Structure 1
Amino acid sequence: MQKAIVIGAGPAGLSAAIYLAKANVEPLVIKGVTPSKYLMTTMEIDAYPGFPLGVNGPSLLDDMSKQAEYFGARIRTGSVKSADLSKRPFLILTTGHGSIEIEPIETESIVIATGASFKSLNIPGETANFGRGVSTCATCTGYFASEKKVVVIGGGDSALEEALYLTRYASEITIVHRRNELRASKGMQERARQSKQIKWMLDVTPLEILDDGHQVSGLKVRENRTGLETVVPAERVYVAIGSTPNAVFLDGQLPVGRRGHLMVKPGTTETDIPGIFACGDVQDDRYGQIASAVGSGCMAAGDCERYLEGLQG
Structure 2
Amino acid sequence: MNNKIHNCIIIGSGPAGYSASIYAARYGLDPIIILGDLPGGQLTNTNYVDNYLGFPHGIDGNQFMDNCRKQAERFNVEILNESVYEVDLCNYIGGIHKIFFGKKKNNLLMSKGVIIATGSTPKCLGIKKERQLLGAGISFCATCDGFFHKGKDIAIVGGGDTALEDAHYLSRICKKVYLLVRKNYFRASKILQNNIIDNDNINVLFQSTISEIIGDNVLKAIKIFNHNTKKYQLKLISGLFIAIGHHPNTNIFKNKLNLNDKGFIIVKNGTTNTNIPGVFAAGDVQDPNYKQAITSAGSGCMAALDLEKYLYSL
Using structure 1 for the length normalisation, give the TM-score.
0.94
| Aligned-partner residue type, residue 171 of structure 1 | K
Q: Does residue 275 of the first structure (1) align with residue 282 of the second (2)?
A: no
Deviations 1:198-231 (A, max 9, x none): 11111122122211x3421111222213432222
Residue equivalent to 2:219 = 216
CA distance in 2, matches of 1:116, 1:265: 19
Residue equivalent to 1:232 = 235
Q: Return the offset for 1:36.
A: 4.6
Residue equivalent to 2:142 = 138
Residue equivalent to 1:304 = 307
Deviations 1:35-92 (A, max 9, x none): 3542011112221111222221111111001101110111111111111113521111
Report the secondary structure of 1:78's partner residue. Answer: coil
Q: Does residue 24 of the first structure (1) align with residue 43 of the second (2)?
A: no
CA distance in 2, matches of 1:77, 1:85: 22
C-alpha root-mean-square deviation of aligned residues, in Å? 1.3
Q: Return the offset for 1:179.
A: 1.1
Whether contact under 8 Å (2:140, 2:243) holds in the other structure is: yes
| Aligned-partner residue type, residue 29 of structure 1 | I
Distance 1:245 1:36, change over 3 A: farther
Residue equivalent to 1:265 = 268
Structure 2 gaps of 5+ residues are none
When the two structures are aligned, how many residues end up with a matched partner? Answer: 307
4+ residue stretches of structure 1 with deviation over 3 A? none
Mapping for residues 1-313 of structure 1, pairs under 5 Å: 1-86=5-90, 88-95=95-102, 99-211=103-215, 213-311=216-314
Report the secondary structure of 1:182's partner residue. Answer: coil
CA distance in 2, matches of 1:198, 1:267: 36
Whether contact under 8 Å (2:90, 2:96) holds in the other structure is: no
Structure 1 gaps of 5+ residues are none
Whether contact under 8 Å (1:216, 1:236) holds in the other structure is: yes
Whether contact under 8 Å (1:46, 1:142) holds in the other structure is: no
CA distance in 1, matches of 2:167, 2:305: 36
CA distance in 1, matches of 2:237, 2:257: 42
CA distance in 1, matches of 2:272, 2:105: 32
